[in-house]
Structure 1
């Protein structure tokens, strides 16, 4: 605040400042490492499934892929701002480790209903995604071993072997404890996607001319569900943000990460659509590539990525369950027991439905549509309506007010006042607002009309697209056009992943 003619005028801080208390350097993830975790989490299954989705959606699928990617980057940054706002309003979130940040955002924005909805969708997304990853890893390894060694070991058996190998690695703590996995996942998927694109281009002279059928309602929205799944990392975003050195910088990590993912997705999606078109018969593009050293290299790289991504993807579920059972955030027998039980339950689902395409589209149209498109803008709007602490669900902040100017920019409001945050394109205007109920500065902010309209439009896109995609998947199952294979434990000889 500055004084002029005896009056106090509001100070202006940049959006990056966000009124976060100055703290000594902390251990945690940086912006680039946060982006690496996003690439490692989001990318992978999309490389394998998107080419077929482009064929099912027609030429419009390419535009849909770009739009969904850009919206995911925007809503991911909005979700990051939601957590930053909570850290500003509730100092206890600075001092305590929060194992379930996404449900916490839902609770502070929309009460118990918001927390339950967020938790249900996050767990459903990550759990289903883990099952898909198990199936993809098993299928890739089965194909690789059969192609190289001419030894046929069915994918169902590989699911068992892979689960046994992965279980010890799931005992690691939080994302910052296995940052190497994020780097490996990001590097392997980037190189793998590039090689797969080159392999498709090399096939073009020997492949029959591609044809492109007009998409149907069901095929288009099935593809939409697949595209949503390909960008379905928002469930993990708050967990990554919590582990950052500067959590308020997370929106930058989201934009960098999602744009990188989009740059990996686009070439292979377009190449698959142009080179193969209707000749593509498999949900996994690798099953349609010619057998060569490039295919084998891609199989190894993408499978390595899926191994690493599996660990990152399931971590929020583990942390949520451990918090529910009051398990300390350290290595222990109880932690290992809970995580083993989760992975074994996923193994049962993978053996029961050894066909990832159906699971992928169904999750994309339901829980991922909610966590990526609906919840972030909705929670952001609800948080903006909370003008005083009593407007927010849950217990009021009860920490003592700061003593003296301890904030970035030397901005410290008087005791009993709160700070009003008015968002513009470039800055946040910070002004004091009297609040007799506040014990700590309570930050409020206003959403410009154009931005509010944009947020509402994204919510509607998520609702309409998600409902249509889910309906298409269910209709395909009911009509028999989406064939379920025999569960592995019923008939190991004929089960087909």
Structure 2
């Protein structure tokens, strides 16, 4: 990313190094933040990416790498957006910001952009939490069946899992349960090596893998699954807000998503070349029985338990911010977060198949929050050369200046609205000058996100309507679902 210094004395170059000399505050470090990124997005991908690569065909690994690189870039751009806002609006340094992503959207594109972003984030994270609940219940059900040769309904397990996890959702923000991020990241990485080992040891007992011709419907549905597997941008700003040095967040994004991509390639390539068309939507169902598959099950389930806490937290914070619930443990927090867990459980009981939710979310809301919104908002913020061009209230230091000017008039004070760039003694307004090739890259990413997202959503809906998705009745109609 290349930025140039503006020529106006009121402007200054946006630099990621702008906070080097400021005192360190409490919060997450660069490595811990990257661990949270791995923990938030890696678990479901380890299970679903192998099937997605099989459905896409031989170019599957290329599509996976491309999505990973773009996600890393757009995640870094999103981090730069928040760093830029903190430089332009000093009040963000001290206020409790429970919804940083919608705040970026509002400052960049106004109220419509904010509302669209809120809807996408809430649907994405809520859907992700539902997917995690379904995967946890399904994995436990499979483990019980394999170890004890007994069947236990996924529907009942979904109720039990939600009841166990709900009290842990009452914790505050990511910095209050950073251990969950560490556990989630470590278990998913270790599990990928066990998946690799389990498949490699099974090669002598497996026939030569078959690879059917790629169908467009399967291709775009799988593309949606891959998009979902990198869909962590919705909670990225929430992690960034909790960092000691939020301006370092792009570094955390690169480290985190690079780790996730390496894990996906390990399990995805192995599954593609070893099992081929015999792969299942959940890779655990395709592993040969044995201690290695049981270990993978336990590790991935542990990851999903922690990831559920991470992805459900931003939605909880936003709801609490909307209702002005204090940032402390109390009855109101318990009610909000318990209700949210209950709603996720109800959706899981209604649609007890995680792969359907993955494809639909990946092609719609995640395409927007991961691929389209970050470059779009960064372009819009870069066009705001002065405070008067920005959306939302004036920065706090300009508001104070206006109030002081109005109060100082004598006898008949007249309200004097000071120009937003009138006083050179006030803090400077950060500007970003993007070179042409950077603008072209950002626009290309937006177009890729639009075309890929629309196509994936269309084919996912089509498979659901046509009955090709394997959709079954809800749990409250037939509790034996999953048996």
For 2:478, the equivalent position in structure 1 comes to 491
What are the ranges of 5 or more consecutive residues in structure 2 without an aligned counterpart? 1-7, 401-419
1:460 equivalent to 2:447? Answer: yes
User: Is the contact between residue 11 and residue 431 of structure 2 (CA under 8 Å) also seen in structure 1?
Assistant: no
User: Is the contact between residue 12 and residue 431 of structure 2 (CA under 8 Å) also seen in structure 1?
Assistant: no
Q: What is the TM-score with the length of structure 2 in the denominator?
A: 0.92
Q: Over residues 423-460 of structure 1, what are the superposed CA-to-partner deviations in whole Å (9 max), with x where a residue is unaligned? A: xxxxxxxxxxx931674311111111001000000000
User: Is the contact between residue 401 and residue 440 of structure 1 (CA under 8 Å) also seen in structure 2?
Assistant: no
Instruction: Give the distance between the partners of 1:187 and 1:212, measured in 2 at CA.
Output: 32
User: Is the contact between residue 398 and residue 440 of structure 1 (CA under 8 Å) also seen in structure 2?
Assistant: no
Residues 448 and 158 of structure 1: CA distance in aligned 2, closer, same or farther (over 3 Å): same
1:150 Cα deviation from its structure 2 partner: 2.2
SS state of the match for residue 208, structure 1? coil
The number of equivalent residue pairs is 459
Q: Over residues 319-349 of structure 1, what are the superposed CA-to-partner deviations in whole Å (9 max), with x where a residue is unaligned? A: 0000111100110000000000111011111
Q: Over residues 13-51 of structure 1, what are the superposed CA-to-partner deviations in whole Å (9 max), with x where a residue is unaligned? A: 894323x48443211000000000000001000000011
User: Is the contact between residue 486 and residue 496 of structure 1 (CA under 8 Å) also seen in structure 2?
Assistant: no
Instruction: Give the distance between the partners of 1:104 and 1:12, measured in 2 at CA.
Output: 22
For 2:141, the equivalent position in structure 1 comes to 142
For 2:287, the equivalent position in structure 1 comes to 289
1:436 equivalent to 2:422? Answer: yes
Where in structure 2 are the equivalents of 1:418-429 lying within 5 Å? Answer: none
What are the ranges of 5 or more consecutive residues in structure 1 without an aligned counterpart? 1-7, 403-433
Q: Over residues 121-171 of structure 1, what are the superposed CA-to-partner deviations in whole Å (9 max), with x where a residue is unaligned? A: 110100000110000000000111111122321111110000000000000
Instruction: Give the distance between the partners of 2:194 and 2:423, measured in 1 at CA.
Output: 60
Instruction: Give the distance between the partners of 1:196 and 1:44, measured in 2 at CA.
Output: 13
User: Is the contact between residue 226 and residue 360 of structure 1 (CA under 8 Å) also seen in structure 2?
Assistant: yes
Instruction: Give the distance between the partners of 1:103 and 1:179, measured in 2 at CA.
Output: 24
For 1:384, the equivalent position in structure 2 comes to 382
Q: What is the TM-score with the length of structure 1 in the denominator?
A: 0.89
For 1:429, the equivalent position in structure 2 comes to none
Q: Over residues 179-226 of structure 1, what are the superposed CA-to-partner deviations in whole Å (9 max), with x where a residue is unaligned? A: 000000000000001101111111111111101111111110011000
For 1:113, the equivalent position in structure 2 comes to 112
User: Is the contact between residue 108 and residue 392 of structure 1 (CA under 8 Å) also seen in structure 2?
Assistant: yes
Where in structure 2 are the equivalents of 1:303-382 lying within 5 Å? Answer: 303-382=301-380
1:99 Cα deviation from its structure 2 partner: 0.2
1:484 Cα deviation from its structure 2 partner: 1.1
1:474 equivalent to 2:474? Answer: no
For 1:414, the equivalent position in structure 2 comes to none
Q: Over residues 348-367 of structure 1, what are the superposed CA-to-partner deviations in whole Å (9 max), with x where a residue is unaligned? A: 11001101111100000000
Instruction: Give the distance between the partners of 1:292 and 1:12, measured in 2 at CA.
Output: 61
Instruction: Give the distance between the partners of 1:17 and 1:266, measured in 2 at CA.
Output: 33
1:475 Cα deviation from its structure 2 partner: 1.1
Q: Over residues 447-497 of structure 1, what are the superposed CA-to-partner deviations in whole Å (9 max), with x where a residue is unaligned? A: 11001000000000000000000011011112211121121111113x138
1:9 Cα deviation from its structure 2 partner: 10
User: Is the contact between residue 400 and residue 440 of structure 1 (CA under 8 Å) also seen in structure 2?
Assistant: no
SS state of the match for residue 110, structure 2? helix
Instruction: Give the distance between the partners of 1:380 and 1:11, measured in 2 at CA.
Output: 17
Structure 1 window deviating more from structure 2 (358-367 vs 192-201): it is 192-201
Q: Which has the higher contact order (CA 8 A, sep 6+)?
A: 2
User: Is the contact between residue 80 and residue 250 of structure 2 (CA under 8 Å) also seen in structure 1?
Assistant: yes
SS state of the match for residue 235, structure 1? helix
